[in-house]
């Protein structure tokens, strides 16, 4: 008896496999590749551009290796010259172009500057509040002593000395700078309150009144201590 052969139609299996593959591809959802999370740096809006230094706003005093005093590049100066230089610098009574420009402080200028600075701060255009604080202090001083002029906020006294200079000479120069500032303060305090700044400041804390403290602050606002110790220079 002859056996029947059972063969499978391979073409139909290929069709079924293709249909299954198509179904799997269409029904499968692929997760997007996330990669490594990273936060890009934000664009900075606070890029600081160095302000140009205006020569008239800086009083330069230097003690060289031979302990000689130089003021504004001129040598052979003495302690008395330091005193006179700082007094001229902080007062500029003759309105000289080589000395700092003065700010006029009265009710109008205080309110105007405080208003402008508050507006800039509220808009986010000014981050630091130092200048606003300065004009508020000036306004308080004006209420006590009346209209006055004071050096602009950028004016500084730069004190520098050579690495081999005597530290004693440096201290003498610094003391003379303070003497010049305090002479201006004493005169103004006498004119406005009938007592010197030195006497007012020397009062014991226990007997100082709120008025005394306010007067001291006002006088310091007119004649600020703007001494900047610069880096030691090597000869």
| In the chain, domain spans | 55-229
Per-residue pLDDT of 193-204, as tens digits, reads: 999 999 999 998
Sheet with 69-71: strands ordered across: 74-77, 69-71, 58-63, 156-161, 227-229
CB of 174 closer than 8 Å to CB of 82: no
Per-residue pLDDT of 80-136, as tens digits, reads: 999 999 999 999 988 899 999 999 999 999 999 999 999 999 999 998 899 999 999
- pLDDT the model gives residue 47: 52
User: Which residues sit opposite 103 in a β-bridge?
Assistant: 150
Per-residue pLDDT of 55-68, as tens digits, reads: 999 999 999 999 99
DSSP code for 150: E
pTM: 0.76
Q: How far is CA 42 from CA 39, 45, 46, in A?
A: 9, 9, 11
Coil, strand, or helix at residue 88? helix
- pLDDT the model gives residue 151: 97
DSSP code for 196: -
What end-to-end distance do the CA atoms of the chain give, in Å?
A: 123
Per-residue pLDDT of 126-170, as tens digits, reads: 988 999 999 999 999 999 999 999 999 999 999 999 999 999 999
- pLDDT the model gives residue 38: 45
- pLDDT the model gives residue 76: 94
- pLDDT the model gives residue 8: 53
Which whole number is the average pLDDT over 4-10? 52
d(CA 192, CA 211): 13
Vertex 10 angle, CA 9 and 13, to 5°: 105
Per-residue pLDDT of 27-44, as tens digits, reads: 665 555 454 454 544 544
């Amino acid at each position: 008896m002859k056996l029947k052969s059972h063969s499978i139609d391979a073409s139909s299996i290929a069709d079924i496999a293709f249909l299954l593959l198509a179904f799997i591809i269409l029904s499968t959802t692929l997760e997007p590749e996330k990669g490594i999370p990273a936060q890009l740096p934000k664009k900075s809006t606070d890029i600081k551009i160095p302000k140009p230094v205006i020569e008239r706003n800086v009083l330069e005093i230097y003690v060289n290796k031979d302990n000689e005093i130089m003021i504004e590049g001129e040598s052979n100066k003495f302690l008395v010259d330091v005193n006179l230089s700082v007094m001229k610098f902080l007062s500029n009574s003759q309105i000289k172009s080589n000395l700092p420009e003065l700010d006029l402080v009265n009710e109008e200028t205080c309110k105007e500057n405080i208003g402008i600075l508050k507006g800039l701060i509220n808009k986010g255009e000014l981050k630091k509040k130092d200048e606003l604080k300065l004009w508020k202090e000036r306004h308080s001083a004006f209420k006590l002593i009346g209209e006055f002029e004071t050096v602009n906020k950028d004016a500084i006294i730069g004190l520098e000395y050579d690495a081999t200079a005597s530290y004693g000479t440096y201290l003498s120069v610094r003391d003379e700078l303070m003497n010049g500032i305090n002479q201006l303060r004493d005169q103004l305090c006498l004119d406005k309150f009938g007592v010197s700044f030195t006497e007012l400041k020397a009062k014991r804390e226990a007997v100082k009144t709120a008025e005394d403290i306010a007067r001291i602050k006002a006088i310091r606002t007119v004649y600020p201590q703007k001494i900047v110790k610069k880096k030691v220079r090597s000869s």
